[in-house]
Amino acid sequence: MSEGAKKGWTRREFFHGVGAVSAACAVGGMAANALAAEEAAVDMGPIIAEAMGSKDVTADAAVKAELPEKADNATLVRVPVKIDHPMDAKNFIQSVGIFVDNNPKPQVAVFEFTPEVGKVDFEVRIKMAKPSKVRVIAKTNAGKLLGLEKMVDVAAGGCA
């Protein structure tokens, strides 16, 4: 058996268990409330500034994320991110933040990159408490923030 085959695991194994949700989820008062999406939006400026060093984000097509219009499983929303930007020593993407405005804690994750990755192309799965704007913000090593934002509906709350 080849080294690769030994280390490999099937797609089925890979995703096994990932979608399991505790039945206790709805008990804690975090169930989705469709009306909540209509509430006044959180002031994301300070949250973004805290995580990314500035709140001045410019929408930029270089930031790509194939987010669903509606997520069937709010505890498992795929966030595949690609940034079309050089990754060389003098000009690279230093960090990428993922934010969900309507989550109790909007900052979901912040990644720091080095030019050694060659390209920023990654995927995580996230929880969403209710329908929300999802933001992906990339910071260049010069400190410029490039962003993408999209409304993502969810079928039911993700107890985030």
Partner 1 sequence: MADIGEPKVKVPSAPAKAGDIVQIKTLINHPMESGMRKDDKGEVIPAHFIEEVTVEYDGKTVLKGKWTAAISKNPFFSFSLKASKTGPVKVSWKDNKGGNFTASADLTVG
Report the residue number, 47 or 146, with the smaller CB distance to partner 1: 47
Smallest distance, partner 1 to C-beta of residue 4, A:
2
CB nearer to partner 1: give 58 or 105: 105
Question: CA torsion 66→67→73→76, rounded to 10°?
Answer: 70
The answer to whether 101 touches 40, Cβ cutoff 8 Å, is: no
Helix (H) or strand (E) segment spanning residue 51: helix 44-52
Minimum CB distance to partner 1 smaller for 42 or for 110: 110
Least distance to partner 1 from the beta carbon of 25, Å?
A: 7
Residue number with CB closer to partner 1 (105 or 143): 105
As a residue count, the chain comes to 160
Closest approach of Cβ 45 to partner 1, in Å?
19
List of residues contacting partner 1 (CB under 8 A): 2-5, 7-9, 14-15, 17-18, 20-25, 27-30, 75-77, 87, 100, 103-105, 107-114, 116-128, 159-160
- State the nearest-atom distance from the C-beta of 36 to partner 1, in Å: 15
List the structure tokens of 74: 């709010």
Q: Tell me the CB-side half-sphere exposure of residue 105, using CA atoms within 13 A.
A: 9
Positive or negative, the CA dihedral 133, 139, 144, 146 is negative
